[in-house]
Amino acid sequence: MFLVADVVSELPLRDDHRHAHDPDTAMTRCAICGNRARHDRGDGVRECTHCGLRYSAGHRAMDAIAADTADRLAAPLVDLIAHPPQDWTCAIATLRIAGYRFGRAIRPADAAQAAELADPTGTLPAAALTAPLPVDGPAITLGIMGRVSELRAIRRLVDRLTPHFAKVRVLIDSDDETVVAGLSRPDVEYLTHPLGQDFSAQRNRLQGACETPWQLQLDADEDLDPAMLAALPGLAADADAHGLRSLAFPRSNLVDGVRSDHWPDVQYRLNRAEVRFSGVVHERPNPSRDWRHSALAPAGAILHRLDGAHVPARTSRYAAMAADGARPADEAALLRPFSAD
């Protein structure tokens, strides 16, 4: 499966992803998650700063490594200790991410692997049992945030996605309840509350309106690609089996209809109902920085459609909201066409 996806690409890391990155691999996208940056782990080993896949010096092309990973995950047992790949390896938490990429669920093969997954900071090569991701899963609420001006687009999104979710909750940035009068129906509720220059507070209001175990949040200008929509029930079921509380998806930014180079623009959008966000802008759920409770799930992508003329205005708005809100590197990537290298 080839992945397609405005917050900086951030994942729960083994250590701070602001470490110096290897310039020789900075423009080579990871075979599993599509990230370019690497940590230098010594002896020629480079580790993806997002998913943790480790590459040996002189490794094969990324599509060959992706195919090797998929082939291994298709078997009932993956054992990177007994059968090490020639030019890559990973710990079990990374193998779980790779499993999500290729529609597979993993379970530790032994007690040592279970200990690694419970506290995923080690480097023991993964050994795990595998099976297809479940088809069914726990009930999920779709939560949508937007403005009054976006109501027409939101209603179209709700009409199309409602059959795939147990309930739908829409939260409109307004203090006027009459703007949503008559829109609610069974299992679809429209709510209003001013955003108040605090994105996390608004997301937490949506989380508070959730009546199912999990909620998937989207913005009014977002959608799900078919692969991600189909994978959601199984991902939530497997997350429950692992005790995870937050799953992150790559987001593909389509600027004036053209896929941008801001990829993977990782978003933690599938969360247990009790999870809460923090950060007035570039907000993240609180479990997101800890691989014991969260994971990247690149089973598909969120699709985000932007007007190119709006991108600089967005940067200015975020700069006014928080000291680190501008993130000019994000703006530059959004305005640059996608490169697979």
Task: Name the percent of the chain lying above pLDDT 70.
Answer: 92
Question: Residues 272-281: what's their mean pLDDT?
Answer: 95
- Domain total for the chain? 1
Q: 224 lies in which domain range? A: 140-306
Q: Is the pLDDT of residue 5 over 50?
A: no
Query: 50: exposed, middle or buried (C-beta count within 10 Å: 0-12, 13-18, 19+)?
Result: buried
Q: Is the pLDDT of residue 282 over 80?
A: yes
User: 307: which strand partners?
Assistant: none
Structure tokens at 55: 């590459």
Query: Would you say residue 165 lies in a domain?
Result: yes
Cα–Cα distance measured from residue 332 to residue 243, given in angstroms and rounded to the nearest whole number: 37
- Quote the pLDDT of residue 9: 33
CATH number at residue 188: 3.90.550.10
- Quote the pLDDT of residue 289: 84
| Residue listed under structure tokens 């530059």 | 332
Query: Would you say residue 205 lies in a domain?
Result: yes
Cα–Cα distance measured from residue 230 to residue 136, given in angstroms and rounded to the nearest whole number: 10
Tell me the per-residue pLDDT of 207-256, one tens digit each, with 9 for 90 and over: 999 999 999 999 999 999 999 999 999 999 999 999 999 999 999 999 99
Grade residue 11 by pLDDT with cuts at 50, 70 and 90: very low
* Torsion sign (Cα): 46, 50, 52, 58: negative
Between CA 82 and CA 92, with CA 86 as vertex, the angle to 5 degrees is 55
From the list 304, 295, 321, 160, the residue with the least C-alpha distance to 236 is 295
- Quote the pLDDT of residue 27: 58
- Quote the pLDDT of residue 326: 80
> Looking at 10-14, 38-42, 58-62, which range is the least confident one?
10-14
From the list 259, 224, 263, the residue with the least C-alpha distance to 7 is 263
Query: Would you say residue 94 lies in a domain?
Result: no
Query: Would you say residue 113 lies in a domain?
Result: no
Tell me the per-residue pLDDT of 128-187, one tens digit each, with 9 for 90 and over: 999 999 999 999 999 999 999 999 999 999 999 999 999 999 999 999 999 999 999 999
Report which of residues 323 and 1 the model is more confident about. 323
Cα–Cα distance measured from residue 236 to residue 223, given in angstroms and rounded to the nearest whole number: 18
With a CB cutoff of 8 Å and minimum separation 6, the contacts of 180 are 151, 170, 172, 190, 191, 192
- Quote the pLDDT of residue 204: 98
Query: Would you say residue 298 lies in a domain?
Result: yes
Grade residue 14 by pLDDT with cuts at 50, 70 and 90: very low
Grade residue 16 by pLDDT with cuts at 50, 70 and 90: very low
Mean pLDDT of the chain: 91
- Quote the pLDDT of residue 262: 97
> Looking at 113-117, 169-173, 318-322, which range is the least confident one?
318-322
Structure tokens at 41: 């782990």
Query: Would you say residue 317 lies in a domain?
Result: no
Tell me the per-residue pLDDT of 67-94, one tens digit each, with 9 for 90 and over: 999 999 999 999 999 999 999 999 999 9
User: 192: which strand partners?
Assistant: 172
Structure tokens at 35: 């990230």
Grade residue 95 by pLDDT with cuts at 50, 70 and 90: very high
For 93, phi then psi, to 5°, come to -65, -35
| Highest-pLDDT range among 7-11, 25-29, 178-182 | 178-182
User: 141: which strand partners?
Assistant: 167, 215
Question: Residues 282-291: what's their mean pLDDT?
Answer: 90
Query: Would you say residue 313 lies in a domain?
Result: no
pTM recorded for the entire structure: 0.91
Query: Would you say residue 80 lies in a domain?
Result: no
Cα–Cα distance measured from residue 51 to residue 60, given in angstroms and rounded to the nearest whole number: 18
| Residue listed under structure tokens 């990177």 | 80
Is the bond leading into 194 cis (omega within 30 degrees of zero)? no
**Dihedral, 54, 55, 57, 60 alpha carbons, nearest 10:** 170
| Residue listed under structure tokens 């002189």 | 58
Q: Is the pLDDT of residue 18 over 80?
A: no
Cα separations (Å) of 25 from 14, 43, 59, 250, 274? 19, 15, 11, 20, 39
